[in-house]
Amino acid sequence: MSALRLARLSAASAVTAGMLLGGTQLVVGQMAQARNTAMTSSVVLNVRSSPGLGAPVVGILSRGARVTAIGSSVNGWTPVRFQGHKAWVYTSYLRTAREVTSSTATAATSGRAFTTEALNVRTGPGIDNRVLTVLAKGSRINLTGRRDGAWLQITLDGQSAWVNNAWISTTAGSSSTVAISGRARATADLMIRTTSNASFRSLGDIPRGTILQLTGKRTNGVAQILWQGRPRWVNSQYLAGVGSTSTTAGVRAPATIGVRYTTTSLSIRPASTGLRYLYNVPTGTALRVTGVVENGRAQVVVQGAVRWVTAMYLSGNNPAGSAPLAHTLYSGGDLNTGGSVGLNSLTSSAKTVVGVVRANYPAISTMYGVRSDPLPDHPSGHAVDVMLPNYRSNADLGWQIARYMRAHASELNIKYVIYRQQIWSVARSNEGWRPMADRGGDTANHMDHVHITVN
């Protein structure tokens, strides 16, 4: 009942050992203990310089990429060898990978193929293996027909080597060979779109910090990129230069002195000067202020990042039309009432969400918190599922709760909200409620509950 495949979500605790993801056993907790164990990433995954969500991102593992675990897991994070150095990845997104031999590699396409980009050729299947050479874009290669995860075996100068299949095409000069004009870093979790128009199909989200290759084409507010060898599109508003540090994880935000409310719809800006803005927030939005004012703009902290808003439109009082929050703070008692489970082990922000729901929506009796799940939201205590009574005839109640949480996301330290197969996130708030892929049943599609994830 949790949400996005976001590799950068908080990892305060590990997923219970033995959970399955797509039928593959995950390596969690004390399972990732062996030194020099071959591992495979089950999703697109951030690689960090130290164990923790606040550590800088030093690279990205593609789905199926192999790395070598070089020590025991620490609080849900596994040390790996990455580009010759020690780095860390979230354990729940790793699975064991058998050593590749002639008997364990799976069958794949054999014969002639071509590189769609300049491509590293490695001694083994995984980015921790030594680079033998770099093939130019459009180079012809010979596939042996052996595959390991996202890696294909080739023959090079009479010896076996490995390349990543994301940059391989079986057709010379195919449409996948797109000229690259530059690179950019995603400043938020970004949806990969098949087209630039409204009829696009979502290919899923990539995590904040991903480095993208740009073709230089922009239209309808989206930028064309080369993704897994094919031209795709992303929201151009959430792209920054690769050298930019304004949104880099691990930069400590200044202390805040209190909360102020917007008295009108207000632009959230990246700097105290200039016309550029990131998105707009509605009247009554609570913002955490630092007390710094420059050029008529007040410095605020939003989702851990320094932002700026026009100071004259902030007030210490909640403006008319924005209902005040009725907070029920956790006082040490048992929260697991009315059939609720897993609420006592939630983070303090998540417990506040539970108190707000109970104070404002007496029809809600059951909520779920900490539980086993392949994604970290629930196991780490950062997610609450608000279960709706008679949900098929109670959609209006669900929307009241979902919109309330959205309106007060800053006060409640909320990261995103999901309801009825739609998601709203602080990072992409100006896009409103975005559709999600069909996951099957009503629970998987969040029809019978509102999912709330906090920071």
- Residue at a domain's end among 96, 118, 141: 96
Sign of the CA dihedral 102, 106, 108, 113? negative
The answer to whether residues 146 and 211 belong to one domain is no
pLDDT attached to residue 99: 38
Based on the fold, state whether residues 194 and 226 are members of the same structural domain. Answer: yes
- Residue 122 inside a domain? The answer is yes
In a domain, 36, yes or no: yes
**Total of domains in the chain:** 5
Domain co-membership, 290 together with 379: no
Residues 237 and 288 in one domain: no
Indicate whether 126 belongs to any domain: yes
Q: What is the pLDDT along the chain (455 residues), one digit of tens a residue?
A: 544 333 333 333 333 223 323 333 333 333 444 567 778 877 667 788 888 877 777 777 766 677 888 888 888 888 988 777 888 888 877 877 553 333 344 555 678 888 877 778 888 887 667 777 777 777 888 888 888 767 788 988 778 888 877 677 776 654 444 567 777 888 777 778 888 876 777 776 677 777 788 888 888 778 888 876 678 888 887 788 765 444 333 335 677 888 888 877 777 787 888 777 766 666 677 788 888 888 889 988 876 677 889 988 888 776 644 444 544 444 556 788 888 888 988 888 898 898 888 877 888 889 999 988 778 889 889 999 999 988 888 888 898 899 888 888 888 889 999 999 889 999 888 778 888 877 778 888 899 999 999 99
What is the sign of the dihedral through the CA atoms of 351, 353, 356 and 360?
A: negative
Q: Distances in Å between the alpha carbon of 374 and those of 96, 283, 450?
A: 15, 37, 19
In a domain, 11, yes or no: no
**Do 434 and 374 share a structural domain?**
yes
Instruction: Supply the pTM of this predicted model.
Output: 0.36
Q: 204 is in which domain, residue-wise?
A: 183-241
Q: Are residues 281 and 360 in the same domain?
A: no
165 and 143 share one domain: yes
Do 374 and 441 share a domain, yes or no? yes
Which of residues 75, 96, 117 is at a domain's end? 96
- What residues contact 317, with CB distance under 8 A and at least 6 apart? 261
Structural domain contains residue 342: no
Q: Which of 96, 124, 140 is the last residue of a domain?
A: 96
Identify whether 381 is part of a domain: yes
CATH label of the domain that carries residue 273: 2.30.30.40
